[in-house]
Amino acid sequence: MEERMPLIGERLPEMNVQTTRGVKDLPKDYSGKWVVLFSHPADFTPVCTTEFVAFQNRFEEFRALNTELIGLSIDQVFAHIKWEEWIKENLDVEIEFPIIADDGTVGKRLGMVHPGKGNNTVRAVFVIDPKGIIRAILYYPQEMGRNFDEILRMIKALQTVDAEGVATPADWPNNELIGDRVIIPPAQDVDTARQRKEEYECFDWWFCHREL
């Protein structure tokens, strides 16, 4: 039976991986932290290089959100190290996060290898919470670089959802209807539905919102 890729709400499969910062035990070594695990097609490629610079330029912002970054491609660790050196020497950016050296095992297990794209990993992003649960998955084609501000926004939104027991609207915190306010989960019974308009600002009982 072919192993399927994990889904949102499932725990990241346990894996020992070789990285540019030593062997890591996933997700155990990152317990208590959020993780952005992302794949790129290959080292020494232009779009991937712009992405690594973008991640590194936001490294402290992720750290401030208790979030660690982990890259991955089907390349040997030596290639990763040499590529890091090239980025430092030519672009003056020092990569501080680990990169997984994969022989295809990890990429295939996580559904990062598309059958129509040879053995290269696609641009996948897994957002993993402090309990090792996958909370969001993004996929981009090889030809298009990712939006890194959106990945940061996702982390902030998920942390807000967990801390406040709410939902966030489209483009939060810049929603066209309610700005940076958050949405109250819809009522599940008649009495609660009747009380909602008295407790919160609402468009209707099923669409109520509040300030953080």
What number of H helices and E strands is found in the chain?
6, 10
| Cα end-to-end distance, the chain, whole Å | 47
- Of 123, 148, 173, which one is at a domain's C-terminal end? 148
Q: Is residue 2 situated within a structural domain?
A: no
The pLDDT of residue 2: 54
Q: With a threshold of 0.95, does the pTM exceed it?
A: no
The model's confidence at residue 4, banded by pLDDT at 50, 70 and 90, is: confident
* CATH code of 43's domain: 3.40.30.10
Q: Residue 123 belongs to what domain range?
A: 15-148
Of 171, 191, 71, the residue nearest 124 (C-alpha) = 71
Positions marked active-site: 48
Of 83, 110, 86, 89, the residue nearest 11 (C-alpha) = 110
Model confidence pLDDT, tens digit, residues 49-62: 999 999 999 999 99
